[in-house]
């Protein structure tokens, strides 16, 4: 049984509030460690307790805060030449995704995405992450656009962007920093759309503030792990999470 994701209802159910905070802490621990994944984890688990139409806007705001904090921390590591085509592609994709969502069976598109991700995983594991060929920067526009389409349809366009950044052979700090810049631009656009559509309101914003401390703690702890793991471990961790994402899209 779902309860409303508002401060009033959260405070009335302290057990559910504690569970929500643990979910957010774990999701943002992963986000800080490998640079992405907080939206997938948060939405998947919080929607077991709250209506998904309330969960998605709240997680969007938390992700927005996460992108700002990690982006500021890693600002000097951002690869601006990569972003020059990734961000415009992502913006184009957001618009195309909205059109696709209105005129296409989103479930079929989700299965296609699952196949795309798992195909990339098989290739990456076979080639070994550290030995994958370096692709040209011209791939930034199409993969950025695909990421925007997926972000518009499912709330997170990470997989194509992760594939691109991995095959550009960025180190783990540059990877995380550059991904945050794309995520931030995506989140700002989607937040504006949610406000315009009435999906994001003051009660949900206050609920987000209630969970923000758990997100901040997760980012802090995850950042410590990020600084300690090796580049190869980092690459393999991203592939493991992508595998989970691919299976989720393909099966559910």
Tell me how far apart the alpha carbons of residues 27 and 38 are, in angstroms, rounded to a whole number.
4
Q: Say what percent of the chain tops pLDDT 90.
A: 12
| DSSP 8-state class, residue 198 | T
Tell me how far apart the alpha carbons of residues 84 and 88 are, in angstroms, rounded to a whole number.
7
- In this predicted structure, what is the pLDDT of residue 107? 57
Q: Which residues contact 77 (CB under 8 A, 6 or more apart)?
A: 173, 174, 176, 177, 178
Instruction: Tell me the longest C-alpha to C-alpha distance in the chain.
Output: 54
pLDDT tens-place string over residues 36-86? 878 878 877 888 888 877 888 898 899 999 989 988 888 888 888 888 888
Q: Which residues contact 56 (CB under 8 A, 6 or more apart)?
A: 43, 155, 199
Please determine, for residue 211, whether its predicted confidence score (pLDDT) is greater than 80: yes
Q: Which residues contact 146 (CB under 8 A, 6 or more apart)?
A: 93, 157, 160
pLDDT tens-place string over residues 137-161? 888 898 888 888 777 666 566 778 8
- In this predicted structure, what is the pLDDT of residue 108? 61
**Residue 146, CB-side half-sphere exposure with 13 Å CA sphere:** 17
CB atoms closer than 10 angstroms to residue 44: 18
Please, which pLDDT band fits residue 114 given cuts at 50, 70 and 90? confident
User: pTM to 2 decimals?
Assistant: 0.79
Tell me how far apart the alpha carbons of residues 207 and 218 are, in angstroms, rounded to a whole number.
17
CB atoms closer than 10 angstroms to residue 71: 20
- In this predicted structure, what is the pLDDT of residue 252? 62
| 9 compared with 25, residue with greater pLDDT | 25
Report which of 172, 181, 176 is spatially closest to residue 228, judged by C-alpha positions.
Answer: 172
SS3 at position 24? helix
- Find out whether 179 and 162 touch, Cβ atoms under 8 Å: yes
SS3 at position 242? helix
Tell me how far apart the alpha carbons of residues 201 and 195 are, in angstroms, rounded to a whole number.
7
């Amino acid at each position: 049984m779902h309860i409303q994701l508002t401060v009033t209802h959260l405070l009335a159910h302290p057990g559910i509030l504690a569970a929500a905070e643990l979910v957010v802490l774990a999701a943002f621990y992963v986000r800080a460690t490998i640079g992405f994944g907080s939206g997938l984890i948060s939405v998947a688990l919080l929607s077991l307790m709250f209506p998904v139409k309330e969960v998605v806007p709240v997680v969007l705001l938390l992700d927005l805060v996460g992108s700002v904090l990690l982006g500021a921390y890693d600002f000097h590591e951002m690869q601006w030449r990569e972003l020059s085509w990734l961000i415009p592609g992502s913006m184009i994709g957001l618009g195309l995704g909205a059109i696709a969502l209105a005129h296409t069976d989103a479930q079929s598109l989700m299965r296609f995405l699952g196949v795309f991700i798992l195909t990339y995983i098989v290739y990456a594991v076979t080639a070994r992450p550290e030995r994958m060929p370096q692709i040209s920067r011209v791939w930034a526009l199409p993969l950025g656009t695909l990421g925007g389409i997926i972000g518009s349809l499912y709330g997170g366009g990470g997989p194509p962007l992760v594939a691109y950044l991995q095959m550009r052979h960025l180190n783990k700090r540059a990877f995380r920093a550059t991904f945050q810049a794309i995520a931030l631009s995506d989140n700002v656009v989607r937040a504006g759309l949610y406000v315009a559509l009435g999906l994001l309101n003051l009660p949900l914003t206050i609920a987000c503030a209630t969970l923000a401390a758990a997100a901040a703690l997760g980012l802090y702890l995850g950042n410590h792990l990020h600084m300690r793991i090796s580049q190869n471990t980092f690459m393999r961790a991203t592939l493991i999470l992508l595998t989970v994402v691919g299976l989720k899209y393909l099966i559910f």
